[in-house]
Amino acid sequence: MDSLDLLNKHFRILPVQAAALKRLGIHTVEDLLYHFPVRYGDTAKVVPISTLEKGVDVTIFGQISGLKTSKGFRSKMPMSEAYVEDESGRIKIMWFNQPYMAKMLVEGTPVRVEGKVSARRKKEGAEDSKPDLYLSNPKVEALNKLPIAVGDSLFGNSEEEHTLYPVYPETKSLTSNWIFHKIQSIFSSGILDSLVDPIPEDMLKKYNLPDLKTALVWIHTPRKADHAAAARKRFAFEEIFFIQLEKQKTRHEFKEKNAFVIEPSEESMRKFIDRFPFEATEAQIKSINHVLEDFKKGNPMSRLLEGDVGSGKTAVAATVAYAVTTSHPRDKKGNLQNFGTLQTAYMVPTEILAKQHFESFIKYFRHLPLNIALITGAGARKFPSKVNPDGWTDISRNQLLKWVENGEISIVIGTHALIQKAVKFKHLALAIIDEQHRFGTAQRQKLVGKETILPHLLSMTATPIPRTLALTLYGDLDLSLLDQMPAGRKQIVTEIVTPEKRKKVYEDIKKELEAGRQLYVICPRINEPDPDKENTVLAKSVKEEAERLKRDVFPEYAIGILHSKMTPDAKEKVMLEFKEKKLDILVATSVVEVGVNVENASLIIIEGAERFGLAQLHQLRGRVLRGTHQPYCWVFPETTSAKTIERLKALKTAKNGFELAEFDLAQRGAGELYGRKQWGISDLAMEAIKNLKMVEAARTEAARIIQSDPALLSYPLLKARIETNEQKIHFE
């Protein structure tokens, strides 16, 4: 049965509406019930039309009339016009470049109108000199009725009148009002009485949360703001709790498996760390000790290492790989195991990063009799080489696979090629995954779950994530932070550049380029926006900016472009050209590879900076921390409001990316910063992640249940919910 039939059982759905529902991800009755309002309007706060003033954002109710299409006098731009009238007066509304609006509305229809009040001067000689007010490109929605007076209910007569109305996420052919009435139709069918709440009753009471039926009514038709807040809190808790439950179950299952017990001598570890080309930071030593403690337990480690760009994650990875490959493994009882050399696999998202880490590991292990290999889609390499004792050599893929399988290769570094069926290890004891959010759960599981004795897992990321988000998304991992930079690293000089200073900045950059440095230019878009499209976001684009810089600013320098729509091979080629200094300037979106070393690139411009989260800006500027030259970052905002400048100033004062991530979470919210598309979490839950107490409560409850009942035998509803990997409400 098509899933939309569930909706068709309750009301008729036109084909155009079915397509619109699909765009919103709504296929079932449950999906519609869980399509929550983004906000609530209040008819008690609606102002009469006669009191409107220029520049104010307003919501008005009235009847629409005078619908017509026209063209601008000089521009000949097609547009729609109409009037909205209430008891106090009327105001003109105009839609530029949207002539279809006049055809979508019906004369005399009650409407709700939301927009900003604009004004234009009257023609000379007019009796009244006051400017004409109008609404430009407002949002208009047809209603079944108007509030009789300000503060009247939109929901018809009820024992307790209420003035809040829900505003839902919309799409073309599907209005907020349509969604509201369809949800009310579902409510009227009595379906709420058949719902079974998956959250245990004692948990609801403990945290003072409404049950499922009450919460659904309150979130869709709140009689007061407190009801809506309580319902949203309940659904946010529910989503975070189920994420935590799944993570804690995975964690428990992982910890029940066997892993190699690895106990290197303190002296050998100290000697290895002393060989670093810099003095190890306290944070690095602490993180290494976390891993070594995990190695002793005989259960697989699951640890996330978070650290800013340049904080020394690779050095930590090399150190723990050294502990694995030079230790004699033991079982849980302490008995030595005759396994020979244990192996480490190090998986990274791109070939250029894999090659870079291969070269780094050669430097760390050059003094030891260990074999290190690189495997990517492009081929295979091995160090040391019989042909070249001081370097690596290309070898056949089949030969490498044989050496990995018989245990001759101690450390294998690679891309997704590492998880192919052909790659078999003799004794894989440690799996390291760099930029782990770039790999899916199934991909990570393929690397870790191949072996009878599970390898320890060390995930790493340079993306600064607020603690609450890390606790939610990585609830199955222990957390170590590299929140210090190695001594001797130059501080990035960061400047917030207003339009009048742009020319001076370009002159400063030319001096650096003449001295042999290289420049990144980061833009928010790939292509120029279409000015004829609705809601166009005007932001600098990679392609247009590269052309402008070549034409008007840096004509004598080689400029390349990089963006997400290029093929992986094309991206690799451009990054290699930049690394080899065949390009002086790289204009790119934020796709610029994390962790790629271009030591000569010490300059970066970030256009449209307010469009990025602060932690992301911090990560972008980290690209210029790779060399010995003084690094510079110029931040160019599109708007220069006091609020924007104040927010960006945090880039100059924060100690590290974690501090910026927490600051931005408080200011803008997780949904805007990290986005549900990246993590698969609803906007409601992403916003709730601001609340550390809620996250910790959900984590505590999930851990308590899994600890006492790992198979969830006493919690069949919870078991069914996490097994489907989807939220399902049973309507039978």
- Contact yes or no for 166/700 (Cβ under 8 A): no
β-partners of residue 188 are none
* CA pair distance 100, 563, nearest whole angstrom: 35
266-482 matches 493-655 in fold: yes
Mean pLDDT, range 148-153, rounded to an integer = 47
Residue 717: count of CB within 10 angstroms of its CB: 13
- Contact yes or no for 18/3 (Cβ under 8 A): no
pLDDT tens digits, 702-718? 999 999 999 999 999 99
Q: Tokens standing for 233?
A: 């809190």
Q: Which CATH superfamily is domain 266-482 in?
A: P-loop containing nucleotide triphosphate hydrolases (3.40.50.300)
SS3 90: strand
β-partners of residue 395 are 380
- Contact yes or no for 590/620 (Cβ under 8 A): yes
- Maximum mean pLDDT: which of 208-212, 352-356, 620-624, 693-697: 208-212
Q: Which of 296-300, 310-314, 337-341, 426-430 has the lowest mean pLDDT?
A: 337-341
- Maximum mean pLDDT: which of 70-74, 588-592, 645-649: 645-649
pLDDT tens digits, 484-507? 888 877 888 999 998 899 999 999
Residue 214: is its pLDDT beyond 80?
yes
Q: What is the pLDDT of residue 152?
A: 47
Among left, alpha and beta (phi > 0; psi -120 to 50; other), residue 435 is left
Task: For the chain, give the mean pLDDT.
Answer: 84
Annotate 617-633 with DSSP letters as a single string.
HHHHHGGG-SSSSPPEE
β-partners of residue 376 are 379
- Contact yes or no for 478/456 (Cβ under 8 A): no
Residue 695: is its pLDDT beyond 60?
yes
Residue 550: is its pLDDT beyond 50?
yes
The phi and psi torsions of 597 (rounded to 5 degrees) equal -85, 115
* CA pair distance 692, 467, nearest whole angstrom: 8
Torsion angle of alpha carbons 253, 255, 259, 265, nearest 10°?
170
- Give the Cα-Cα-Cα angle 493, 494, 499 (nearest 5 degrees): 130
* CA pair distance 635, 604, nearest whole angstrom: 8
Q: Which helix (H) or strand (E) holds 634?
A: strand 632-636
* Identity of the amino acid at 223: R
Residue 194: is its pLDDT beyond 60?
yes
Residue 570: is its pLDDT beyond 60?
yes
- Contact yes or no for 310/476 (Cβ under 8 A): no
Q: Indicate the DSSP class of residue 280.
A: P
pLDDT grade for 729, boundaries at 50, 70 and 90 = very low
Q: Which of 155-159, 431-435, 618-622 has the lowest mean pLDDT?
A: 155-159
Domain ranges (residues) in the chain: 47-146, 266-482, 493-655
Q: What is the pLDDT of residue 711?
A: 92
Nearest to 473 by CA among 252, 719, 689: 689
What interhelical angle do 351-365 and 568-579 show, nearest 10? 50
* CA pair distance 143, 691, nearest whole angstrom: 36
CATH architecture of 47-146: Beta Barrel (2.40)
CATH architecture of 493-655: 3-Layer(aba) Sandwich (3.40)
Annotate 427-496 with DSSP letters as a single string.
SEEEEEEETGGGS-HHHHHHHHTTSSSPPEEEEEE-S---HHHHHHHTTTSEEEEE-S--TTPPPPEEEE
pLDDT grade for 533, boundaries at 50, 70 and 90 = very low
